Copies of this chain bind each other. A is one copy, B any other.
Amino acid sequence: MSARNPADPALGKVSEQVSVSGPGEFDLIARYFAPLAGPGAFGLGDDAAVLTPTSGQQLVFTADAIISGVHFLVDDPAADVAAKLLAVNLSDLAAMGAKGVGYLITTAWPRALDEGWIATFAQGLAEAQAAYAVALLGGDTVATDGPMCLSLTAIGELPIDTALRRNGARPGDHIYVSGRIGDAGVGLRILRDGLLGGPAADRLMAVKRYHRPRPRLALGRSLRGLASACIDVSDGLVADLTHLSNRSCARMVIELARVPISPLADLIGGAAGAIVAGDDYELLFTALPADETRLLAAASAAALAVTCIGQVVEGEGVEVLDQAGNAVVIDHGGYRHF
């Protein structure tokens, strides 16, 4: 792990607003992050980490960045922010059918940040890496005058040529989704907007699904050789189905009534609201109808429900049908950064 930039006095002076009070970044790394270092990371004390790939495996890489106030609420618990950042990257690995191996993290902490926040963040990272059997391989710690900015690169592996892709869906395939859609969207609205209603237990569950998504790694691995295309539901069911449609050059038709939705979905507009809410990190995939029995067995082994919600047809785009078979107009104007 590096704390290099700008430990050098020259580069450091680029900013004259730099504080030299409080613990140094080397101390922060040694205290909170070095204990998370895996084999080959040399206690974060070298220029880089070294990893020996497993024979016969390919490596899989993904990276995500998150900004305080944009991707997480400024008062989200530090441990949840850390665990979620790791989980959403592992969810990308799950969508490829890979298992997790390790990760690197870079953190830009606001200068006024309480050290306790960092300690709790590292604790959340420790819990998540233990839960998902990955280890810290490196990273960087810097300070910023802006909002907290965190970036994580996850590394996974899978047997050669078994990666699940987005481009393999073919007309005639069925469309499946794991778990339930809309929980995280409800959770966010409860936290951010003070959304009321629903039983307390469901409300807690929804908030937990928002704060601590669980990457579907076991399911993803069991879909190798079964799913023709796969993606994780991060942008929202319709948006992610659109990615599958675009990449596979095929039309995706789903029936709204078949989508397994949150018990609190009524709070966000019912099924139509749930399918445009994001952050559920379920797997959305396609497969031959003939493979459905094997699919359901794989899902059962992963302790997850899997539901057929529609099918792939010739054409392009995504169509959502109501119970009468009429097209539902989906308002998923969508979030754009710029």
Contacts and interface: CB of A to CB of B under 8 A. Distances in A.
A119 to B, nearest CB: 13
Given A4-B235, A45-B166, A336-B20, A59 B50 contact: yes
Contacts of A184: 10
A323 interface: no
A120 interface: no
A4 to B, nearest CB: 4
B109 A276 contact: no
Given A155-B61, A277-B8, A143 B337 contact: yes
A14 B140 contact: no
Contacts of A28: 338
A163 interface: yes
A14 B72 contact: yes
Given A8-B239, A10-B189, A108-B149, A93 B48 contact: yes
Interface string A80-115: 000000001000110110100010111111010000
B236 A9 contact: yes
A139 B63 contact: yes
A103 B11 CA distance: 24
A279 to B, nearest CB: 5
A109 B338 contact: yes
Given A48-B60, A71-B5, A96-B48, A11 B144 contact: no
A236 B64 contact: no
Interface string A13-27: 111001111111100
Interface residues of A, number: 112
Provide the main secondary structure of the chain A interface: mixed
Contacts of A5: 64-66, 70-71, 88, 234
A69 B3 contact: no
A23 B336 CA distance: 8
B63 A337 contact: no
A198 interface: no
A147 interface: yes
A9 B333 CA distance: 8
A336 B9 CA distance: 9
Given A47-B95, A140-B151, A147-B146, A10 B62 contact: no
Nearest to A8: B278
Nearest 6 A-B pairs (CB), nearest first?
A: A146-B146, A8-B278, A12-B335, A65-B106, A151-B151, A143-B337
11 contacts: A6-B70, A8-B236, A12-B335, A20-B333, A25-B338, A46-B166, A48-B61, A63-B106, A144-B147, A146-B146, A149-B149
